[in-house]
Amino acid sequence: MAHEVEHAALNRYLESKGLKQTRQREAILEVFLEAVGHVTSEELFQRVRESHPSIGYTTVYRTMKLLCEAGLAHERNFEGGVTRYEIPHDHHDHLVCVRCGKIIEFECQMIESAQEDIAKRYHFQILRHRHELYGHCDACRKGG
Ligand SMILES: [Zn+2]
Ligand SMILES: [Zn+2]
C-alpha cells in the first residue's frame, strides 16, 4: 500500500484512543494524501465518493479532525470560513487569490526574524503566527 508510514501512524493514534481502524478511515486518509495543496472536507468527500460511494460527508469531516489530532493533517482557516486541510510540512505562510481561490505558499526569513524582533520589544512570547495575504494572483490580474 502507498503511504505506509502515514497509515501506520494513524493506526497507532487510533489504538491509543481506543478507536478502530476502519476501511473508511483508510480510504479517506489515502485520498487526502493524494490530494494536492489545501483541500476542504467537501472536496475530499467528492473524491472519496468516486471510489467509496457509501462513505458519507460526516465521516469524511470527522476523519479529517482525527487526522489533525494525529498530526497527519494541518487545519487552515482562511478568510471565507471554509476549513482547509494540508499535509503538514515546514513552516510557511500563504497568498490567497480572492478571485480564483488559488493558494500560494511562501517562506520569508526576513518576516520571521522581524516578528521575533517585535515580540522581543514587547516582551511577548510567540506561540504561533499566521500570515495570509489576500489579493489577485498573476493569472487573474492578466485575465482582467
Ligand atoms: Zn486568481
Ligand atoms: Zn500551506
pLDDT single digits (tens) 71-129: 999 999 999 878 999 999 999 999 999 999 999 999 999 999 999 999 999 999 999 99
Residue 144 has pLDDT above 80, yes or no: no
Please give the distance, rounded to the nearest whole angstrom, from the Cα atom of residue 18 to the centre of ligand 2: 31
Domain covering 93-143, topology? Dna Ligase; domain 1 (3.30.1490)
Residue 76 in 3-state DSSP?
Answer: strand
Centroid of ligand 1 to alpha carbon of 79 (angstroms): 15
Which residues lie near ion ligand 1 (Cβ < 5 Å)?
97, 99-100, 102, 137, 140
The ranges assigned to domains in the chain are 4-86, 93-143
The three cell numbers of residue 29 are 486518509
**Whole-number mean pLDDT of the chain?**
94
Q: What is the dihedral of CA 47, 51, 57, 59, to 10 degrees?
A: -120
Q: Which residue has the cell 493558494?
A: 103
Q: How far is the CA of 36 from the CAs of 15, 20, 30, 51, 87, in angstroms?
A: 28, 27, 12, 18, 9
Mean pLDDT of 129-140: 95
Question: What pLDDT, on the 0 to 100 scale, is given for residue 80?
Answer: 83
Ligand at shortest distance from the CA of 143: 1
Q: Is the model's pLDDT at 29 over the cut of 90?
A: yes
For the residues 12-28, what does the mean pLDDT come to? 95
C-alpha of residue 138 to centroid of ligand 1, in Å: 7
**CA-based end-to-end distance of the chain:** 45
**Percentage of the residues of the chain whose pLDDT score is greater than 70:** 99
What is the amino acid identity at position 25?
R
User: Residue 1 has what pLDDT?
Assistant: 60
CATH fold of 4-86: Arc Repressor Mutant, subunit A (1.10.10)
Q: Is the pTM of this model over 0.75?
A: yes
